[in-house]
């Protein structure tokens, strides 16, 4: 795994020498020369030339990005990639997925291996500013929680004083747990194992009293237990973890395309547009719906796309609720705060106007 990371680091060098990669800034001059209005669109041009979107996903996190029995990638993070492909290339299937470990993901994005990283990544100050990664939108609000054995009589995180806790490296969990225990003046012993499968097995084997992870991932861990009823996910959430797709900061138009692709999924739910009803919406009189399906105002062209971009997202991928019902609900994960603001959740995205 380290070798791959090293290799990617060298790729960073190689792309520079060949003058390619997302850092290529020769395009703006060309745009000025041809007198084309609006900003340059290097990533968009490359994606169109290539014919597919390169999307960085996880090595397998149920509900977010994981291959199904037929080898098709499924999950709400995968749906973000598919939405982008539907908007940009007209076909949600035109995505090439690159499975990345938590540790590889940022280097892969920075070196131009992927166009967008859609891999339950927590948005943090340090990743935004120091790593220089742009997070255009949030597609799932999560937080660090713990799974424990029912028999251990742990009812709350406070009961974990002196406990051994399994953690995966390369995640924000490592620092979240350390910070929480320090704040609460409690102690713990970490057992840090790189692969999700092995760290999960170590927890099941009894090596750790608790397993700390994003709460959404914990439901999948519990489902994998020999007897799920023996385990319980503690109700407390010890940190904020807004998860969202990441892109490089040097291509504003690409950032906007990713942002509005996610917004389109959520706005579609809010407007009551689903993959089943979207065809009928073409004849709607509602100005919001008419703008959404590209019948008015020409928003698609302003985004360097065609006017059908949002229509295709809903037609081919569905709206946000459909994505959740397909991927998250079957795992027994509550939608919780990830409901629309109208339904008491925190999903409140700008409208297409």
Partner residues linked to 302 by β-bridges: none
Only one of the segments 56-64, 188-196, 255-263, 310-318 lies at the binding site for another protein (rule: CB under 8 A); that segment is 188-196
Q: Are strands 241-243 and 140-142 parallel, antiparallel or unpaired?
A: antiparallel
Number of residues that bind another protein (CB under 8 A): 58
64, 97, 106, 254: which one binds another protein (CB under 8 A)? 106
Distance CA 11, CA 36 (A): 32
In the numeric block, the tokens 């054995």 are attached to 149
The answer to whether 13 contacts another protein (rule: CB under 8 A) is: yes
Tokens coding 207: 């090596």
Q: Enumerate residues 147-186 that contact another protein by CB under 8 A.
A: 152, 161-164, 169-171, 174-175, 177-179, 181-182
Only one of the segments 53-61, 193-201, 300-308, 345-353 lies at the binding site for another protein (rule: CB under 8 A); that segment is 193-201
User: Exposed (0-12), middle (13-18) or buried (19+): which is 165, by Cβ within 10 Å?
Assistant: buried
Fill in the per-residue mask, 111 to 130: x = in contact with another protein (CB under 8 A), - = not in contact.
---------------xx--x
The answer to whether 352 contacts another protein (rule: CB under 8 A) is: no
CA–chain centroid gap for 272, Å, is 23
What values do phi and psi take at 186, rounded to 5?
A: -115, 165
Between 177 and 218, whose beta carbon lies closer to another protein?
A: 177
Distance CA 334, CA 345 (A): 12
The answer to whether 242 contacts another protein (rule: CB under 8 A) is: no
In the numeric block, the tokens 């990617």 are attached to 8
The answer to whether 6 contacts another protein (rule: CB under 8 A) is: yes
Nearest alpha carbon to residue 251 among 52, 31, 57: 31
Distance CA 216, CA 120 (A): 10
The answer to whether 229 contacts another protein (rule: CB under 8 A) is: no
Between 178 and 346, whose beta carbon lies closer to another protein?
A: 178
Binding site for another protein (CB under 8 A): 1-2, 5-6, 8-9, 12-13, 15-17, 21-23, 25, 102-103, 106-107, 110, 126-127, 130-132, 152, 161-164, 169-171, 174-175, 177-179, 181-182, 188-195, 198-199, 202, 205-207, 209, 248-250
């Amino acid at each position: 795994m380290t070798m791959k990371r090293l290799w990617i680091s060298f790729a960073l060098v190689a792309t520079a020498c060949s003058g390619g990669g997302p850092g290529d800034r020769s395009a703006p001059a060309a745009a000025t020369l041809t007198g084309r209005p609006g900003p340059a669109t290097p990533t968009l041009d490359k994606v169109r030339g290539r014919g597919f979107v390169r999307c960085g996903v996880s090595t397998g996190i149920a509900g977010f990005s994981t291959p199904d029995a037929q080898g098709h990638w499924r999950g709400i993070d995968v749906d973000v990639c598919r939405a982008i492909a539907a908007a940009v290339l007209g076909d949600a299937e035109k995505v090439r997925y690159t499975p990345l470990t938590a540790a590889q993901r940022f280097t892969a994005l920075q070196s131009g291996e992927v166009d967008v990283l859609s891999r339950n990544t927590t948005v943090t100050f340090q990743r935004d500013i120091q790593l220089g990664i742009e997070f255009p939108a949030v597609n799932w609000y999560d937080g660090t929680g713990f799974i424990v054995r029912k028999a251990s009589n742990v009812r709350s995180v406070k009961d974990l004083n002196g406990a051994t806790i399994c953690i995966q490296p390369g995640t924000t969990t490592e620092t979240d747990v350390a910070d929480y225990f320090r704040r609460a003046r409690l102690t713990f012993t970490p057992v840090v194992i790189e692969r999700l499968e092995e760290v999960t097995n170590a927890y099941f084997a009894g090596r750790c009293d608790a397993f700390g992870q994003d709460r959404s991932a914990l439901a999948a861990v519990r489902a994998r237990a020999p007897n799920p009823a023996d385990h319980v996910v503690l109700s407390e959430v010890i940190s904020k973890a807004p998860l969202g797709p990441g892109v490089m900061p040097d291509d504003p138009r690409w950032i906007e395309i990713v942002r509005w692709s996610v917004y389109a999924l959520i706005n579609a739910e809010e407007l009551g547009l689903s993959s089943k009803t979207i065809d009928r919406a073409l004849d709607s009189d509602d100005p919001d719906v008419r703008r959404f399906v590209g019948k008015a105002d020409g928003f698609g062209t302003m985004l360097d796309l065609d006017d059908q971009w949002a229509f295709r997202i809903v037609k081919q991928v569905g709206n946000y609720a459909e994505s959740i019902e397909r991927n998250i609900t079957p795992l027994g994960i509550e939608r919780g705060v990830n409901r629309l603001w109208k339904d008491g959740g925190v999903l409140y995205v700008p409208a297409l106007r």
